[in-house]
Amino acid sequence: MDQYLEQASTYAGSVDWLFWIITFIVGFWFLVAEFVFFGFLIKYRRKEGEKAGYVTGTKKSEKKWITIPHLLIICCDVVLVAGAIKVWNEVKLDLPEPDQTVRVIARQWAWIFEHPGPDGKLDTEDDIRTTDELTLQKGVTYHFELTSRDVLHSFSIPVFRLKQDIVPGRTIKQWAKPTKTGTFDIQCTEICGIGHGLMGAVLHIQNEDDHIAWMEKHTKTSQANTLLASQ
Partner 1 sequence: MDATTTATTSGHTESHGHGHHEESFVSKYLLSTDHKIIGMQYMFTGLIMALIGGYLAYVFRMQLAYPGEEIPGYGILTPGDYNSKVTMHGTIMIFWVAMPVLIAAFGNFLIPLMIGCDDMVFPRINRLSYQIFLISAIILVASFFVPGGAFGGAWTAYPPLSATAEYNLTPLGAPLWLIAVALEFVAFLLGGINFITTVMNSRAKGMSMYDIPLVVWMIVIASILFMLSVGPLVAGAVLLLFDQIGGTNFYNPAAGGDPLVWQHLFWFFGHPEVYVVLLPAMGIVAEVIAVFSRKKFFGYKLALYTTFATGILSFVVWAHHQFVAGIDPRMTNLFTVTTLLISIPIAELLFLYIATLYRGSIEFSVPMLWALGFIATFLIGGVTGIYLGANGTDIFFHDTYFVVAHFHYTFFPIAIIGMYAGLTYWFPKMFGRHMNQTIGKIHFWFTIIPFNLIFLPQFLLGLAGQHRRIYDFSNFPQLSTHELQHLRIVATTSLIVMLIAQVPFIINFFYSIFKGRKAEKNPWKANTLEWTADSPPGHGNWAVLPDVHRGPYEYSHPDRDEDYWPQDEPSK
Distance CA(104)–CA(69), nearest Å, equals 48
Distance CA(173)–CA(181), nearest Å, equals 23
In the complex with partner 1, the residue whose CB is nearer, 96 or 193, is: 193
24 is a contact residue toward partner 1 (CB under 8 A):
no
- Per CB under 8 A, the list member of 98, 116, 117, 158 interacting with partner 1 is 158
If you count them, how many residues does the chain have?
231
**Strands 128-131 and 133-137, sheet pairing:** unpaired
Task: Estimate to the nearest angstrom the gap between the alpha carbon of 114 and the chain centroid.
Answer: 22
The interface with partner 1 within residues 93-132 (CB under 8 A) comprises 93, 108
Q: Which of 9, 4, 2, 7 is nearest to 136 (CA)?
A: 9
Q: Which stretch binds partner 1 (CB under 8 A): 17-25, 96-104, 111-119, 206-214?
A: 17-25
In the complex with partner 1, the residue whose CB is nearer, 129 or 161, is: 161
CB of 192 to partner 1, least distance (A): 6
The interface with partner 1 within residues 36-95 (CB under 8 A) comprises 36-38, 40-41, 44-47, 50-58, 62-63, 65-66, 69-70, 73-74, 77, 80-81, 83-89, 91-93
Distance CA(226)–CA(86), nearest Å, equals 40
